[in-house]
Amino acid sequence: MPASYQLVIDCTSPEPLARFWAEALHYVIAPPPTGFPSWDDWYRSVGVPDDELGIGADRIEDPNGEGPRIWFQVVPEQKSVKNRLHLDINASGGRGSSIETRRELVDAEATRLVSLGATRLSPIDAEVPDHYAVALLDPEGNEFDIN
C-alpha cells in the first residue's frame, strides 16, 4: 500500500500561492475542518501562535481525491537558493502526439500560468531528443516545469 502524504511548500504569503497552485494543478482550496470558519481558526484552537499563521487559504486539494494535498506553510525567510524538489506539470498529452503538438500544448499552458503570476524562464528541449518542456517560476520564485 502506498504511503499517504501531503506536500508542504514554504512561503511568505500562503493564500496567493495556494490560489496560484490551485489554478495551475486544477485543484481547489481545501475547506477548513468541520466546526471552524477558517484554517487559521483551527490552527489557533490547537495552539499555533498568530505570527505563524498565513491569514487566509493555505491548503489545496485534488477535487477528485487522487493527488496529494498541498499545504503552504508560512516561513519568515524569502527563497534564496534553487529548489531541491520541483513539480513537473504534464500538459503535452504524452509521446503519443507529435512534438509539434506537444510544443503547442506546453506553450499554451505556460502562457496560461504566466497570466496567473508565473514567470517564464526558458524552453527545455536540448537534453533529450523528442522532448519539450518550459521552465517557470511560481509567484514566490519556486521553479517548476511544464512538459
List, for residues 40-87, the tens digit of each pLDDT value.
899 899 998 887 777 788 999 999 999 999 999 888 888 888 888 899
Q: What angle do CA 29, 31, 35 make, to 5 degrees?
A: 165
Q: Around Cβ 49, how many Cβ atoms within 10 Å?
A: 8
Q: Which three cell numbers stand for residue 27?
A: 485543484
Please report, rounded to a whole number, the percentage of residues in the chain having pLDDT higher than 70: 97
pTM: 0.88
